[in-house]
């Protein structure tokens, strides 16, 4: 019989007992953020569970990791501690276990309705890296910017291309995104344009949250890389295409990206995703030995992007994709990142890159969907080439299990005009 919680969980909820994603939250009565896991429409406050002494497994008994305002300490403890926490929490929340179920005082303190919490960034992000691992996205971008002849550079098939992103401007779902100002250079103009970006876009991504890191100068083996991945989030790598196009030669994206990057509040653990593992894409040419995995896995995570224009009641689906569309795996990304000895730290964020699929309705950004603004996208009576002020962009991600979901909730942000 399937594992079941004493908490009522709707069948279409993203947060059944099989999931238990981690996040950080504030309430009216708390000043510092607290750590919790999502269960149905509730957040289980892990500081209360700690204080009640219910974390009694070898690595967690007596630990203050869940009394901190961020997950970094827990992330550093690694998979054995993560497994203990998952086992303890699944047991505590199960319908057959009385310890929490029948302790009304503790339930009152530890189970906070989601509607009463404000989610905040669950970890301190030392460094944020963004990969470029969907072949369809690479091909489309290359065709738009370089031309159809050799849209994908030959290095792309040999290594997971990436760039360092900006950690300071990673924000939690729900934060307004202020339209960036900057320089653009429309073709034919000799003086650059300066002003609010005219080509604001979203990028549908997911991102790995790093667990234990590595020492500077050491590498992480690709076959052990999964032990350094705590979980994944949804990520919107907002992009100003006009700023990006003008600035990126020869050192890559900078201000076209660094005005904001949104992540979903709940980190779904790699353990919760295991039932949804699937074969990774076939790679041809075969990867060099340091990237060759004994078992090369991806995850079947259905992704959807909706846009809700200001003043409209309903949002419109603009794309449907899947993490499966990645060419390079999360573990290859992580191992490659360390092959030069670069040190990862707990809480680091590794974006996948825009996750585009092969079909026209599975493209992960407006740049591709509107072919750089050449054709408009229909949105429930209106149209879009790029994002307008007031547009809310809503990502969802979900794995369909047998009678339950393991979902990510949403990752949202509304575009607002520049300040100053």
Binding region for a second copy (CB under 8 A): 126-127, 129, 132, 141-142, 145-146, 153-155, 158-159, 161-169, 171, 178, 180-183, 185, 191-192, 194, 213, 216-219, 240, 243, 246-256, 258-260, 285, 288-290, 336-337, 339-345, 348, 418-420
Q: Which does 127 bind (CB under 5 to 8 A by kind): Ni ion, Ca ion, Mg ion, none?
A: Ni ion
Burial 102-125 (b: 16+ CB within 10 A, else e): eeeebbeebbbebeebebbbbbeb
Binding segment (CB under 5 A) for Ca ion, from list 206-214, 232-240, 307-315, 334-342: 232-240
Residue 261 binding partner per list Ni ion, Mg ion, a second copy, none, with a CB distance cut-off of 5 to 8 Å that depends on partner kind: Mg ion
Query: Which residues 6+ apart lie within 8 Å of 241 measured at CB?
Result: 197, 199, 200, 201, 256, 367, 372, 386
Judged by CB under 5 A, the residue of 45, 48, 127, 348 near Ni ion is: 127
Active-site residue among 137, 228, 336, 337? 137
Considering the complex, state which of residue 36 and residue 160 has its C-beta at the smaller distance from a second copy.
Answer: 160
Each residue 1-40 as x (binds Ca ion by CB under 5 A) or -, in order, gives ----------------------------------------
Tally of CB atoms within 10 A around 317: 14
Can 137 be counted among the known catalytic residues? yes
Please state, in angstroms and rounded to a whole number, the distance separating the CA atoms of residues 80 and 101.
26
Is 224 annotated as contributing to ligand binding?
no
Q: Tokens 């575009």 belong to which residue?
A: 415
Contact between 201 and Ca ion by CB under 5 A: the answer reads no
Instruction: Rule CB under 5 A: say whether 348 interacts with Ni ion.
Output: no
Residue 188: half-sphere exposure toward Cβ, Cα within 13 Å: 0
> Segment near Ca ion (CB under 5 A), from 52-60, 129-137, 149-157, 396-404?
129-137
Going by C-beta distance under 8 Å and a sequence separation of 6 or more, which residues neighbour residue 205?
Answer: 130, 234, 235, 236, 237, 351, 352, 353, 354, 355, 364
3: partner contacted, choices Ca ion, Ni ion, Mg ion, none (Cβ within 5-8 A by kind): none
Residue 368 in contact with Ca ion, rule: CB under 5 A:
no
Q: Which of 48, 127, 130, 368 binds Ca ion (CB under 5 A)?
A: 130
> Is 324 flagged in the annotation as binding?
no
Q: Which residues contact 387 (CB under 8 A, 6 or more apart)?
A: 200, 201, 202, 307, 366, 393, 415
Q: Is 242 annotated as a binding residue?
A: no
CB 58, CB 15: distance < 8 Å: no
Total Cβ atoms within 10 A of residue 190: 5
Of 48, 84, 203, 247, the one binding Ca ion by CB under 5 A = 203
Q: Quote the tokens at residue 417.
A: 């005009």
DSSP, residue by residue, 120-145? E-SS--S-EEEE---HHHHHHHHHHH
CB nearer to Mg ion: pick between 128 and 299: 128
Residue closer to Ca ion, measured from CB, 258 or 396: 258
Q: Name the residue nearer to Ni ion (CB basis): 167 or 342.
A: 167
CB 379 within 8 A of CB 364: no
State yes or no: residue 277 binds Ni ion (CB under 5 A).
no
> Annotated catalytic sites, by residue?
137
Q: Which residues bind Ni ion (CB under 5 A)?
A: 127, 167
């Amino acid at each position: 019989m399937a594992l079941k919680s004493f908490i009522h969980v709707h069948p279409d909820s993203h947060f059944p007992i099989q999931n238990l994603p981690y996040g950080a939250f504030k309430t009216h009565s708390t000043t510092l953020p607290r750590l919790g896991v999502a269960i149905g429409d509730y957040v289980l406050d892990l500081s209360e569970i700690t204080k009640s002494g219910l974390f009694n497994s070898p690595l967690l008994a007596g630990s203050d990791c869940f009394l901190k305002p961020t997950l970094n300490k827990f992330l550093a403890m690694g998979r054995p501690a993560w497994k203990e926490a998952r086992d303890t929490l699944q047991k505590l929340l199960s319908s057959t276990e009385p310890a929490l179920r029948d302790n009304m005082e503790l339930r009152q303190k530890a189970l906070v309705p989601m509607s009463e919490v404000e989610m905040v960034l669950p970890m301190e992000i030392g460094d944020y890296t963004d990969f470029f691992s969907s072949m369809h996205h690479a091909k489309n971008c290359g065709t738009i910017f370089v031309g159809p002849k050799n849209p994908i550079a030959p290095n792309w098939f040999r290594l997971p291309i990436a760039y360092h992103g900006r950690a300071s401007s990673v924000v939690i779902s729900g934060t307004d995104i202020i339209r960036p100002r900057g320089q653009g250079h429309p073709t034919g103009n000799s003086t650059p344009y300066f002003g609010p970006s005219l080509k604001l876009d979203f990028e549908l991504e997911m991102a790995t949250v790093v667990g234990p890191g590595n020492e500077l100068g050491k590498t992480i083996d690709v076959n052990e890389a999964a032990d350094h991945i705590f979980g994944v989030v949804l990520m919107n790598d907002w992009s100003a295409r006009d700023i990006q196009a003008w600035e990126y030669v020869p050192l890559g994206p900078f201000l076209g990206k660094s005005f904001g990057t949104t992540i979903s509040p709940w980190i779904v653990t790699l353990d919760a995703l295991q039932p949804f593992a699937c074969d990774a894409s076939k790679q041809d040419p075969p990867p060099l030995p340091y990237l060759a995995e004994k078992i090369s896995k991806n995850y079947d995570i259905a992704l959807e992007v909706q846009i809700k224009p200001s003043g409209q009641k309903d949002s419109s689906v603009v794309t449907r994709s899947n993490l499966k569309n990645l060419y390079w795996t999360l573990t290859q990304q992580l191992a490659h990142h360390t092959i030069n000895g670069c040190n990862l730290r707990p809480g680091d964020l590794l974006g996948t890159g825009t996750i585009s699929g092969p079909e026209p309705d599975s493209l992960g950004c407006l740049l591709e969907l509107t072919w750089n603004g050449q054709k408009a996208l229909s949105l429930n009576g209106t149209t879009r080439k790029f994002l307008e002020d007031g547009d809310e962009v809503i990502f969802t991600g979900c794995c369909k299990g047998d009678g339950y979901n393991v979902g990510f909730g949403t990752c949202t942000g509304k575009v607002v005009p520049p300040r100053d």
